[in-house]
Amino acid sequence: MGRMEEKRVLKRKKRYVNICLMILFILLILGVVATDYAIRDMMALFDGGQLLAYWRDANRHYIEIFGSEYYFDEALVYESLKGYIEWTRLKSGELIKWLKGLL
């Protein structure tokens, strides 16, 4: 087996190991979330403090992680993204003009 063939085999094995680790990590997280949900359901704990929860109310998205609640307003996110896109267009235009000035 040549050197290039060994590198291909090693690269393939590394990819396989990375995929297996990612699948195991996802299964671990899903198992913890499922266990939390089942225990909370059996003990009739519906007052909050969940491991992971998500719900939506009109244009607000609520995410609860380890009992801490975070919310995101769609309108504010869209406006921020729109402003960032406009800012990058302006800056990229200035950068192109600056580069043309150098040439």
> Domain coordinates of the chain in residue numbers?
1-46, 48-103
Per-residue pLDDT 10s for the chain (103 aa) are 788 899 999 999 999 999 999 999 999 999 988 898 888 888 877 676 677 888 898 889 988 887 788 888 888 888 999 999 999 988 888 888 888 888 7
Q: Parallel, antiparallel, or unpaired for β 68-73 and 60-65? A: antiparallel
- Write the DSSP assignment of 28-64 as a string of letters: HHHHHHHHHHHHHHHTT--SS--SEEEEEETTEEEEE
